[in-house]
A and B are shown apart, each in its own frame.
Chain A
Amino acid sequence: MSSSPTRSLHRFANPGQFLRLSGAILPYLSVAALVTMAAGLGWGLFVSPADYQQGDAVRIMYVHVPSAWLASAGYTGLAVCSVMSLIWRHPLADLAAAEISPVGAGFTALCLATGSLWGKPMWGAWWVWDARLTSVLVLFFLYIGHIALVRAFDDPTRGYRAGAILALVGVVNLPIIKFSVEWWNTLHQPASITLTGAPAMAPAILWPLLVSAIGYTLVFAAIVVARTRAAVMERRIRALLMARAASEGGA
């Protein structure tokens, strides 16, 4: 396992290296994130055409779909950090996992809220218990559970360990969310954009959606990087304070 590729990967995940590297990247990442998101949302909300069936209500999609994508993608990131934490006991992965889950929970809440606002005028219901909606609600609870569990122990290491196990158990929900609309009858429609086959979406609607999705993804990344930097620094300050208290107590 300690072959050279993994070792070199760990060199980048070293907390000191991470602070230097992320400090250099973060300003550019933040600006790119805000510009792309503003461009995507402006294009989608004000310029793009209304849908032939749904009219202007289709514009909720430019917020709903990117946040839904990040709800799942963020959880995938959380799962990757949890694997690194459980197998390689990597301290930076612990910190990143704890910082991803509140952001992921926020985007999942945004996805559920905008979905509800879209559902009422189009379907005729704020909420239905179909497989897609229910599995996304479960994802939201998994995020909330992870946030609470990581912070529930006096010894942070035990919290990170328990959180990582919870996060990995929850991974089983990701394919259920993705394929719920294909496996079972649902009120929610199937995916419009697939890896195979042409998107069932006119280019005038597809492009602003893709730009929005990239913008949201960059925003998510920027928030997580900034939060993880803060967590690394907080940990260093705590270590310094404890060292000072120990030396004063000894003197």
Chain B
Amino acid sequence: MTRKRRRLYVLLACAIGLGSATALVLTAFSDNLVFFVSPSDLATKAAPGRTLRLGGLVEQGSVQRTQAGASFRVTDGAKSVAVTYAGILPDLFREGQGVVTLGTLNADGTFKASEVLAKHDETYMPKEVAEALKKSGQWKPDGGTK
């Protein structure tokens, strides 16, 4: 075995070791690596008074703007949670679009948010294309044309 070949094998062995170690660590910590929890997971993840992020889509027709801010429902298709928020909503906040809120779960099952971030999807298109798709009935609300 030449020295070059030996160095190659040592490097491969290190790569396999490091790769599997990282994979195990990431799997073990995957609960902590998520940025937000979905409404379905909220019940199991939230303890009273614990601050966490709730993410999902803003339910169609649920947004009510109040003097102090807004109230709306966040849904993941299976479950939805009522959210109250006092503050300025981001420009991209729309019904049917993604949102991530930071706050605490109240005893009555509503979520009190102290921060609202808009999450947008990976679809990009000109306004005219979006309108044409809506007109022709090919529009799918979450994810554009996909």
| Contact A185/B34 with A1-B5, A83-B11 known, Cβ cut-off 8 Å | yes
| Contact A54/B120 with A184-B33, A201-B125, A205-B126 known, Cβ cut-off 8 Å | yes
Is B129's CB under 8 angstroms from A124's CB?
A: no
Is B126's CB under 8 angstroms from A87's CB?
A: no
Query: Interface code A144-185, partner B: CB below 8 Å = 1, 0 otherwise?
Result: 000000000000000000000000110110001000000111
Q: Does A102 contact B (CB under 8 A)?
A: no
Q: Does B50 contact A (CB under 8 A)?
A: no
- Closest A residue to B97 by beta carbon equals A53
Is A168's CB under 8 angstroms from B91's CB?
A: no
User: How extensive is the interface on chain B, given as a class?
Assistant: 35 or more
Is A131's CB under 8 angstroms from B35's CB?
A: yes
Give Cα distance in the complex from A2 to B4, angstroms: 9
Is A200's CB under 8 angstroms from B122's CB?
A: yes
Give Cα distance in the complex from A128 to B101, angstroms: 12
What's the count of A-B pairs with C-beta under 8 Å?
A: 126
Q: Which of A33-41, A67-75, A188-196, A224-232 touches B? A: A188-196
| Contact A185/B35 with A49-B127, A124-B118, A200-B144 known, Cβ cut-off 8 Å | yes
Give Cα distance in the complex from A61 to B120, angstroms: 13
Partner of A52, one of B18, B118, B126: B126
Partner of B117, one of A87, A124, A129, A183: A124
A15 to chain B, nearest CB (A): 20
Partner of A201, one of B8, B34, B116, B123: B123
Residues of B within 8 A of A122 (CB): 90-92, 118, 120
Residues of B within 8 A of A176 (CB): 22, 26
Is B143's CB under 8 angstroms from A123's CB?
A: no
Most buried by A among B15, B37, B38, B120: B120
Q: Does B7 contact A (CB under 8 A)?
A: yes
Q: Does A130 contact B (CB under 8 A)?
A: yes
Give Cα distance in the complex from A16 to B93, angstroms: 59
Is B18's CB under 8 angstroms from A169's CB?
A: yes
Beyond A184-B34, A192-B124: 10 further Cβ-contacts under 8 Å? A49-B126, A49-B128, A83-B11, A87-B7, A87-B8, A121-B91, A124-B115, A125-B115, A191-B122, A200-B146
